[in-house]
Each structure stands twice: as C-alpha cells, then as structure tokens.
Amino acid sequence: MDNRSYQAMRTESVPLNGKRTTGRRHAAYESFTGSTRRLLINAGVFFWAFLAIASLAACDTDNEEALDTSAPAPLSIPELLEPTFDAAGVAHYDLKIGESRHDYRQTALTDTYSYNGMSVLGPTLRLRTGDSVVISVTNELDEVTTTHWHGADVPAEDDGGPHSIIEPGTTWMADFEVIQPAATLWYHPHVHGSTAEQVYRGAAGLIIIEDDNPAAATLPATYGVDDIPVIIQDREFTGDGQLDFAIDDGGDGKLYTTLTVNGTINPFVDVPKGLVRLRLLNGSQARIYHLSVEGADMTKIASDGGYLASPVALEQLVLAPGDRAEIIVNVGMESAALVDSRLGRVLEMRPNGAASGTGPLPDKLATIERISVSEITVDRSFDMDDERNFWNFGPRWAINGAQFDMRRIDFEVQLGDTERWTLSGDDGQHVFHPHQIQFQILSINGEPPPPEESGWEDTVLVNEERDVVIVARFNTYAAEDTPYMFHCHILDHEDLGMMGQFLVIDE
C-alpha cells in the first residue's frame, strides 16, 4: 500500500536526547418507571403461568437430555494440520474458513464458523523455528475476512491484519520464515468492525512453535495426550440453540455466561498420572479469567512469547483476552480441575492409569536477555480511554484520543530502534496488543514485574489500577508500505475503534 494513500496525521515521539521528532505526514488519508399496580399484578400472573409451563416442559425426558450440559463431556481436541513440503523444503499449510455446525448440546446444532471443515475452531498448526512456511487461506464465507497470526514476528504484508482482506471465494497467502523460539501463538480473523463476531462464531486456532531447546526434552509434548490445547471461550445461546452475539459499547466488553473449552461445555480430559501440560488460550471476546487448579499444583512455564527463564509456581493465573500461558499440572491419583474464580470449573483432568513418563521440571527453561534501558532510543505513551462523557462528546473508544482510521498512520518506528511504551487506561479494563513484536514488561505501577510476567509478551492487561511500561526492539522487518496494528484486545473495544497503526522505516 502506497504511503501516499494515507491521510496526514501529526504524531510526536520523544527520544531520550530530549529532541522531538515528528511522524511523517502522509497525503490523502451505550426508568423503571415505575409501573402501575395493575401492570405488576398482571406481570406476576404471567410469571407464575410461565413457571407452570416450564415445569411441564421439563417433564419431556428427551428434551431434558438434549439440553443437559451439566453432565461432563469429553474434551474435543483440535486436529493437527500436517504440512506438505516442496522440493525446496518449504512447509505448505492450507486453511479454508467457512460456515459449519457444532453440537454444543443445545436444542439444535449451532451455526458456526470454522477452518478446514471442523465443526468449530480450526486445526492446530505446528511449526518449527527456522522453517520456511507458506500458509494459504481460502475464504468460503459469504463475507470478507482476514487471518492474523497473533504473536508472530512476520513481515507486515504476511501479518493478516485488516488491510489483508480476503474476499469471498478468493485465497490469500502468507509466506515467511519462523524466526521465533518455541511458543504457543494463535490465529484468528482481523477484519475491522467484524473481528469480534467472526472469532465469537468460532474462527480461531492454535499455532505451536517448536525449537531445539534442550529443556523441552523433559516436558510433556505428546499432543492431545499429556500436552493439551485449551482454548477457553465464553458463549451465550438463544432459545433455538444458536449463538447469541452482541457488542457492549459502554463497558468492559460483552461477557457471556457459558464456558467452553475447544468448543466443549463442561469438559473432562483423560490424562496420564504425573506432569501434564496445558496450553491455555483466552480466545474470549472480553472476559478475563482468574484461573487456579484444584487437586494439584500449578506451575507456569511459558507466556505469550515462549518459555520463562524458570518454572514459576502459582496459586492463580490471570488470563486476559488474547493471552496465552503454558502451565504444568502435576496430576495425582485423583482428578484435578482447572477452575475460574467467577464461573467455576473450566476443565476436569482425570488420571487414566498411565504414567506421564516426563519430568521432573528443569530448574532452567530458557535464557532471557533483559533489554537494557540504555538501549532505549524513543519513549511513547498510549492512553486507552472512553473519551465520551458529560462534558466531552468525543470518540467513545480511542487510543490517545484518536479512533482507528484505515487511511491514517499514527506513528513511524525506525528499524533497529528500541522503544519504551507507557500504557494506561483509566476507564475500565483494556488489553494492549501490538503486532509484530514480543516485548518485555519493565514495570507495573512503577514496580518490576513478578516472575510470571518477566518473559516475552505480546498481550498485556491495563486498567485504572495497573499502569504498565514495556520495552521492545524493532530489529527484524521494515514495514514501509503495509502497517502493523496496535489495539485493545477486548474485541468490542477493537471493533469500535480502539486501534491504531504504525510503520517501521528503514532509513
């Protein structure tokens, strides 16, 4: 995309030398009234009549069985998508996004979106550091879509952001080298204004990157056996069993009341006794999970961008939308359960009698070079806020007072620079996610991050009680024609305009 197609917007950054630099101008760019006594009486009559009808309906045993999601169900494990290799050793993956139907144990099969003919979600892609990869995405929907590789350091034209539109009936291809260490990433649509709904309807999947880290040899790694993908999402259903989607334009995003894991309500998984690895993804629209494990110990081994320096024992793990975490659960003779502090049981782990055959956990997982503040060349600030109030009729969801505009570049980064970004949000919950980079957290409310947040991250929770300072190196790809995004990953906020874009200039 030609830079000249962008409308001018003046942006400023502050280098450490105190001199101000200005981003390049680009041409062309949410009473009871009370009611009367008669109305209340009539409402009461209706209410009791409704209860009577409901009680009669409950006597239909077939219907009761069809609606019973309280009974545990086996966890669905997304299939692994195997690549084909060409003569040059390039790994080719083919994805097709389309409409499907999934059994959520409602009154009817539920209409969903999925990849590759799955009933919901998409297959897991397993990549390897150093591989050359081509991923083709064919759009079999009746609407435009994109597919973004969340957490991947790839060229901007392969990133799958809102500029990489895939029209119905067409195919888009991403071509890149895997330059990151082992990590759990994910993919999902990123169409501006439609991201929340397309993800909610089921279009998402995991990406597992593997490398030669010797620590991996002692960790559970048999996919679907002791290495379990756990995509956590909340959902709501209509009376006829369909997904009930909504955007909350006046709060912390839309929260639904039914938990699903890999599309399964109230799931259990049979696992070997011993160490079990859970690859957690919060694929929800807006809900933040506060996770713990009942009946076993929980240890975090990896964050968004890969392994932590050392395992960290946790009582509770906070997982914001878009976040990933890898945890090890030491399952004993009895079942253990992953639970959320608000919604209860997420996933039951039942020992199947076999032994895991892995462990103990290594003392050291990875070498993480801390980015020195002496490297920092530029400071920026990002204030995520609802700008509209009694006195101000400005944009509702904005970053630094500006709502997203596809034609505007918000700032430019120099290739090779190291930047410090200060993140704030004073009106509720926000989740900051920049494309391309993995960053390190320098401070949370002025204090160093705890060990579980001291690895590589690409998604971070920000709110009125949690100001965060991060640091990142921009040293891999220039992006002079196609921008990278930065945005709130509460998808309601993103679709309503809490997003911006930047270029990486090689000069």
**pLDDT tens digits for range 79-127:** 999 999 999 999 999 999 999 999 999 999 999 999 999 999 999 999 9
CB 474 within 8 A of CB 437: yes
Q: Are residues 90 and 195 in the same domain?
A: yes
Question: Does 363 map to a domain?
Answer: no
What is the band of 480 on the pLDDT scale with cuts at 50, 70, 90? very high
Q: Which of 164, 188, 218 is the last residue of a domain?
A: 218
Question: Does 362 map to a domain?
Answer: no
Q: Which residues contact 252 (CB under 8 A, 6 or more apart)?
A: 286, 428, 429, 490
Q: Are residues 99 and 155 in the same domain?
A: yes
Tell me how far CA of residue 206 lies from CA of 129, 146, 196, 232, 375, in angstroms. 16, 16, 17, 12, 33
pLDDT per residue over 192-248, tens digit each? 999 999 999 999 999 999 999 999 999 999 999 999 999 999 999 999 999 999 999
Q: What distance in Å separates the CA atoms of residue 383 and residue 401, rounded to the nearest whole number?
A: 8
Q: Are residues 94 and 209 in the same domain?
A: yes
Question: Does 337 map to a domain?
Answer: yes
Q: Which of 355, 379, 398 is the last residue of a domain?
A: 355
Q: Is 40 helix (H, G, I), strand (E, B) or coil?
A: helix
Tell me how far CA of residue 116 lies from CA of 132, 299, 384, 457, in angstroms. 22, 34, 36, 29
Q: How far is CA 470 from the centre of its chain?
A: 19
Q: What distance in Å separates the CA atoms of residue 235 and residue 259, rounded to the nearest whole number?
A: 6
Question: Does 238 map to a domain?
Answer: yes
Q: Are residues 273 and 377 in the same domain?
A: no
User: Which domain does 297 fall in, by range?
Assistant: 227-355
Q: Which of 191, 218, 245 is the last residue of a domain?
A: 218
Strands (E), 75-191: 80-81, 84-85, 91-102, 110-115, 124-128, 132-139, 148-150, 171-177, 183-188
Q: Are residues 373 and 458 in the same domain?
A: yes
Q: Mean pLDDT in the chain?
A: 88
Q: Are residues 138 and 193 in the same domain?
A: yes
Question: Does 486 map to a domain?
Answer: yes
Q: Are residues 179 and 273 in the same domain?
A: no
Q: Are residues 322 and 286 in the same domain?
A: yes
Q: Are residues 377 and 466 in the same domain?
A: yes
Q: Are residues 269 and 400 in the same domain?
A: no
Whether the predicted pLDDT of 20 surpasses 60:
no
Question: Does 160 map to a domain?
Answer: yes
Q: Are residues 99 and 206 in the same domain?
A: yes
Whether the predicted pLDDT of 32 surpasses 90:
no
Q: Are residues 192 and 302 in the same domain?
A: no
Domains in the chain: how many in total? Answer: 4
Q: What distance in Å separates the CA atoms of residue 80 and residue 112, rounded to the nearest whole number?
A: 20
pLDDT on residue 356:
81
CATH of the domain at 477: 2.60.40.420
Question: Does 360 map to a domain?
Answer: no
CA atoms lying within 13 Å on the CB side of residue 443 = 10
Q: Is 448 helix (H, G, I), strand (E, B) or coil?
A: coil
pLDDT per residue over 388-414, tens digit each? 554 555 557 999 999 999 999 999 999
Question: Does 242 map to a domain?
Answer: yes
